[in-house]
Chain A
Amino acid sequence: MASVTQGSPSPSPASGGGGLVSTDAKPSPARQVLERLVSLREGSIIVVAIVVAVYFAINTSSFLTGENFKTLLPYFAPLAILGAGEVFVMILGEIDLSIAAMYLFAPIVFFKLDSAGLGLVPSVLLALIACMAVGVVNGAFVSIVGVSSFVTTLGMLFTFEGLSLIIAKGQPNPTPGAQVHQTTVQVHHIVNGHNIVLPEKVNHIGTFAKIFGGGVYSELIWAIVIVLALQVVLTFTRWGLYTVAIGSNKIGAAEAGVKVKLVTIRNFVLCALTAGLVGIFEAVRSQTIQPDPSGPNEILLLAIAGAVIGGTLLSGGSGTVVGALIGALFLGILKDGLILQGVQANYLLFYTGLAIVVAMTANVYVGRARRGSGSG
């Protein structure tokens, strides 16, 4: 297992990260791969994520297991989806803090509408449309009224988290369509030639729940599909081109005829939509709708951290959706790995914070190397 680091005395425990990259002796293939990676916008975080993953793989036996991957999933898949939407806003040079409120708001609206008898899917759709309407308001305030996005979405964050609490009356509710049904089936066994029938309990989750976050891989599949689709939009469509254009030179883009207000509103709508969707997924997965803003607020910050770590600039004009996914994966690996290593819960946040700073610093240097390298 430790054969990854050829030559070095032992998989250096403490400062393990540095030792792995020191393949200076053989410059050719590894170097080339590294240089190719570095020339990518997501390059630095890919390198950092791999280094961290390898470190944990070497140091904890249970890291590289399917079971562990399953525990990693619910942590990083929601962040990846949230990050995908947020990247579209961040490339504009704006920020959307209200995603935490949408995350909370969507499942509560979903519950209310379903309770009113609208049915599962229509209720989900209407809840998402409600989130998109909030996105329109965000975008309009930012691009038409001219309030800064930080202030606008901070206001919307509190407003809609508050509204969610009001609507839910502070009470948790069971997520519609997500309840596990237990049935008892009679299973025939043949023991010593005798046919005996024993009752066994089987858990069922409905198709709705399986699709909307309840299935083990459902959120992962959503995350991959959404991230890839939005990366294609960003790189290969006019919408993406205009998003970069506005973030890079808003006045110039407007002078060239880009509809700055329209694109800005559209991106805020997209961001609110992804946040609402993740809120629904998580409610279905956890089977309850908790009217508690503290979880969403933490996820909001992690999603932004993931996007930034993944190579999206807060100042706008540059960013990648895939990078945000890898950034989210990095945060997931880090948390998961630290837990497996037996790091005390109290230290978790502390290490995460340090790791974010280190990863960001690596980003800055790699970014400089990329621009200086002339390969672009």
Chain B
Amino acid sequence: MAEPGTPLQGAPTPSAASEDVLRVEHIGKRFGPVTALKDVNLHLKKGEVLGLLGDNGAGKSTLIKILCGFQKPDTGRMFLRGEPYEPKSVDDARAKGIETVYQDLALIDELSVFHNLFLRKERVHKPLPLLANRQMKREARTALDEIGINIPRIDVAVARLSGGQRQAIAVARTVNSDADIILLDEPLAAMGAKEGAMILDLVARLKEEGRVSIIMILHNYVHVLEACDRVSMIQDGAIALDKPTAETSVEELTDIVVNEYKRARMANHEDTAPAT
């Protein structure tokens, strides 16, 4: 059992981030008539927290799913730690150190909290293929406590939990691993202010440890500026903005979106109903 979340333990120095742990070039992806991504170039430095922004339907989730091996890009190339990266499956990407919190959370309602936490990473009684439920419960409890998530009972089905608790479990599942690249697709979406702050604290802590690099999709620009080192914004299937957060502001980010919105309004005069 490689202890997953061992904190504060000789973390490699967050070097000058000279090298990209992950880099993608000219990524394109279509779904039938819909072009989700046209030509995305993106990079993630070691130890960095990258905020990924973009309108609804901009293709953020699609990009995440390509990075984590759930979908294959139509065009483009990817590199992981300098090596060509063509994940064959989610398991493959996971084996290479990439873990994901999906926008839909990918939780199994009928399964207990601890079974969800260990999905695809189940502990078994070694020579036998039988689930080591007690061990998983113990480790799940430890992991949740370490992260600071308060889930009163870990043997209840996740269907019983609140939206925020479910989200917290999805995040915990990702953090409680050996991954050194973590992808978070709207991890704060269903959360109250307190739970949201807890997740952002967790991200800050991971950043301090410097072991993992993170791509995080957020909607609240205040959160983005607080939690991220750099922002990339997807517009029209490509990266329209790529800046360190220190060099941008809530105003600038808002302006970009307002302008995009105005352009969209002009493009379809008649149809005034804004997209949700």
Task: List chain A positions with a Cβ less than 8 A from chain B.
Answer: 232, 236-239, 241, 244-245, 247-249, 251-259, 317-318, 376
Taking the nearest CB of chain A, how far is it from the CB of B123, in angstroms? 10
- Interface: B110 (CB within 8 A): yes
The residue from B70, B94, B100, B109 contacting A248, defined by CB atoms under 8 A apart: B109
Taking the nearest CB of chain B, how far is it from the CB of A318, in angstroms? 6
Residues of B within 8 A of A256 (CB): 90, 106, 108, 119-120
Taking the nearest CB of chain A, how far is it from the CB of B153, in angstroms? 10
**Hey, what's the 0/1 contact readout for B105-140 against A, CB within 8 Å counting as 1?**
111111100010001101010000111010000000
Beyond the given A252-B108, A254-B90, please list 10 additional residue pairs across the A-B interface where CB-CB is below 8 A.
Answer: A232-B130, A237-B130, A241-B115, A253-B108, A253-B119, A255-B65, A255-B102, A256-B119, A259-B89, A376-B157
B130 in contact with A249 (CB, 8 Å): no
A317 in contact with B124 (CB, 8 Å): no
B108 in contact with A257 (CB, 8 Å): no
Number of interface residues of B (CB under 8 A): 28
A238 in contact with B108 (CB, 8 Å): no
The residue from A239, A258, A376 contacting B156, defined by CB atoms under 8 A apart: A376
Number of A-B contacts (CB under 8 A): 74
The residue from B70, B115, B122 contacting A255, defined by CB atoms under 8 A apart: B70
Residues of A within 8 A of B130 (CB): 232, 236-237
- Interface: B255 (CB within 8 A): no
Q: Interface majority SS on A: helix, strand, loop or mixed?
A: helix
Question: How distant is the Cα of A317 from the Cα of B110 in the complex, in angstroms?
Answer: 6
Taking the nearest CB of chain B, how far is it from the CB of A279, in angstroms? 29
A236 in contact with B119 (CB, 8 Å): no
Residues of A within 8 A of B209 (CB): none
**A244-B110, A248-B111 given as contacts; is B94 within 8 A of A257 (CB)?**
yes
Residues of B within 8 A of A252 (CB): 102, 104-108
**A251-B104, A252-B105 given as contacts; is B91 within 8 A of A257 (CB)?**
yes
**Hey, what's the 0/1 contact readout for B135-162 against A, CB within 8 Å counting as 1?**
0000000000000000000001100100
Residues of A within 8 A of B104 (CB): 251-252, 255
Instruction: Give chain B interface residues in 58-84, CB to chain A under 8 Å.
Output: 65, 70
Question: How distant is the Cα of A256 from the Cα of B119 in the complex, in angstroms?
Answer: 7
Taking the nearest CB of chain A, how far is it from the CB of B20, in angstroms? 25
B70 in contact with A245 (CB, 8 Å): no
A244 in contact with B108 (CB, 8 Å): yes
Question: How distant is the Cα of A257 from the Cα of B156 in the complex, in angstroms?
Answer: 22
Chain A residue, CB-CB nearest to B89:
A257
Task: List chain B positions with a Cβ less than 8 A from chain A.
Answer: 65, 70, 89-91, 94, 100, 102, 104-111, 115, 119-120, 122, 124, 129-131, 133, 156-157, 160
Residues of B within 8 A of A255 (CB): 65, 70, 90, 100, 102, 104, 106
The residue from A237, A245, A254 contacting B111, defined by CB atoms under 8 A apart: A245
Chain B residue, CB-CB nearest to A91:
B110
A238 in contact with B131 (CB, 8 Å): yes
Chain B residue, CB-CB nearest to A246:
B108
A236 in contact with B106 (CB, 8 Å): no
A241 in contact with B131 (CB, 8 Å): yes
Residues of B within 8 A of A249 (CB): 106-109
Taking the nearest CB of chain A, how far is it from the CB of B176, in angstroms? 14
Question: How distant is the Cα of A253 from the Cα of B90 in the complex, in angstroms?
Answer: 11
Chain A residue, CB-CB nearest to B124:
A238
Residues of A within 8 A of B100 (CB): 255
Question: How distant is the Cα of A194 from the Cα of B120 in the complex, in angstroms?
Answer: 78
A247 in contact with B110 (CB, 8 Å): yes
Chain A residue, CB-CB nearest to B125:
A236
Residues of B within 8 A of A318 (CB): 110
Taking the nearest CB of chain A, how far is it from the CB of B107, in angstroms? 6
Residues of B within 8 A of A251 (CB): 104, 106
Residues of A within 8 A of B115 (CB): 241
Chain A residue, CB-CB nearest to B133:
A236
Question: How distant is the Cα of A376 from the Cα of B159 in the complex, in angstroms?
Answer: 12
Chain A residue, CB-CB nearest to B157:
A376
Chain B residue, CB-CB nearest to A318:
B110
By Cβ-Cβ distance, the 9 closest A-B pairs, closest first, are: A252-B106, A255-B106, A257-B90, A248-B110, A257-B120, A245-B108, A257-B91, A317-B110, A256-B119
Residues of A within 8 A of B94 (CB): 257
Question: How distant is the Cα of A237 from the Cα of B153 in the complex, in angstroms?
Answer: 22
A241 in contact with B122 (CB, 8 Å): yes
